[in-house]
Amino acid sequence: DTAVSQTPKYLVTQMGNDKSIKCEQNLGHDTMYWYKQDSKKFLKIMFSYNNKELIINETVPNRFSPKSPDKAHLNLHINSLELGDSAVYFCASSQDYRGQGLFFGEGSRLTVL
């Protein structure tokens, strides 16, 4: 029974396409996040939602649009994909916005050709 699940696990697509990654958590947490891990394993926060409200929006191109239909789900839509978007995208959740102990999904590896 996976706590934080992401789909799809792998995405291979062409430049210019639009793609979405879905995330769901069954932990009853209030806060969810999207992190990007680049090819050098560096992890950087992109967005955070608390009870469906956007609370953190880092310097991310506006081609990236998160959506939280309810507090258990946080999806990431990416328009006009570029080569530099290739990375592993991790969804995470925490009990509240204090973020004490994030639970991570297994990641979605996006490859843009």
Applying CB under 8 A, which of residues 4, 21, 32, 81 lies at the interface with another protein?
4
Q: CB of 79 within 8 A of CB of 63?
A: yes
Applying CB under 8 A, which of residues 29, 105, 110, 112 lies at the interface with another protein?
105
In this structure, how many other beta carbons lie within 10 angstroms of the beta carbon of residue 91? 27
Please give the angle made by the CA atoms of 91, 60 and 8, to the nearest 5 degrees: 35
Which tokens sit at 106? 């297994």
Applying CB under 8 A, which of residues 36, 90, 110, 112 lies at the interface with another protein?
90
In the complex, least distance from residue 16 CB atom to another protein, rounded to whole angstroms:
28
In the complex, least distance from residue 52 CB atom to another protein, rounded to whole angstroms:
15
Q: DSSP H helical segments within 11-113, as ranges?
A: none
3-state secondary structure of 73: strand
Say whether residue 27 binds another protein (CB under 8 A).
no
Binding site for another protein (CB under 8 A): 4, 33, 40-45, 48, 50, 55-56, 58, 90, 92, 97-107
